[in-house]
Amino acid sequence: MKILVAVKRVVDANVKVRVKADNSGVELTNAKMAINPFCEIAVEEAIRIKEKGQADEIIVVSIGEKACQEQIRTSLALGADRGIHVETEDGLQPLAVAKLLKSIVEKEGIDLVLLGKQSIDSDNNQVAQMLAAITNMPQGTFACGVELADGKLTVVREIDGGEQTVSLSLPAVISTDLRLNEPRYASLPNIMKAKKKPIDTVTPEELGVEVSSGLKIVSVAAPAARTAGIKVASVDELISKLKSEAKVI
């Protein structure tokens, strides 16, 4: 079985991002970049499936600028076997990402695609669902449990107010939720070994995918600054403040 893991390069979750002065986006110059946290969980899950002897190869793909190779290299150090970098400077919309992944799925004969449920930079939560739709593969999104047995995947999904268990035939698409697993750290020997693992670079044109989009970001703005909250000593004080200061009751 061949697993494809889609790994997005995003600003590190601990960085406090600032909006650019011209409101065209967020300032990323010199910002620490990392693997999207949900994609890290997807890499970990792929490695665990392979460690159980249920997969032969894990391919990691990242789409974007040249620097995405850093996140591919990290995934290789964690345990993926090889990488594919789809190099493009265009800011891609989820449908373009899904089309590029579809082309790789078909070229490589992929049995299982693991993605994060959401990119923490653009908060789309769309690529996995779009990929499943355009490839006609079954999807198990927001996965917090994945079991593979007798050629079928059992996926436990986080849904509002509980969990839902679905059974998927392969090939399939899974998007990972936070509770699926806890990603490992890469060991130094594995970081060294990863330097020798192959990364192929392709362009959207070589994959035959048109990535232009009809969507343009008009403006990005920071949320309005809020004043700090206060602690009240009693319910009476709370009610009095709600009446006299907040004037909501």
- Among 74-82, 112-120, 146-154, 183-191, which window interacts with ligand AMP (CB under 6 A)? 112-120
Nearest distance from C-beta of residue 144 to ligand AMP, angstroms: 15
β-bridge partners, 191: none
- Among 60-68, 145-153, 183-191, 228-236, which window interacts with ligand AMP (CB under 6 A)? 60-68
| b (16+ CB within 10 A) / e for 238-249 | eeeeeeeeeeee
Return the residue nearest ligand AMP (CB atom).
Answer: 116
- Among 38-46, 132-140, 144-152, 226-234, which window interacts with ligand AMP (CB under 6 A)? 38-46
Cβ-based nearer residue to ligand AMP, 39 or 143: 39
Q: Starting at the earlier edge strand, list the strands of the sheet with 82-87.
A: 162-169, 152-159, 139-149, 172-176, 112-116, 2-6, 57-64, 82-87, 199-202
83 binds ligand AMP (CB under 6 A): no
Q: In sequence order, which ranges of 123-245 are alpha helices (DSSP H)? A: 127-135, 188-194, 235-244
- Among 62-70, 103-111, 193-201, 230-238, which window interacts with ligand AMP (CB under 6 A)? 62-70
Cα dihedral angle (226, 119, 168, 180), rounded to 10 degrees? Answer: -70
154 binds ligand AMP (CB under 6 A): no
7 binds ligand AMP (CB under 6 A): yes
Tokens standing for residue 50: 């392979």
115 binds ligand AMP (CB under 6 A): yes
63 binds ligand AMP (CB under 6 A): yes
Cβ-based nearer residue to ligand AMP, 108 or 241: 108
The residues of the shown chain that bind ligand AMP, judged by CB under 6 A, are 6-8, 36, 38-39, 42, 61-64, 92, 94, 97, 115-116, 118-119, 122, 124-128
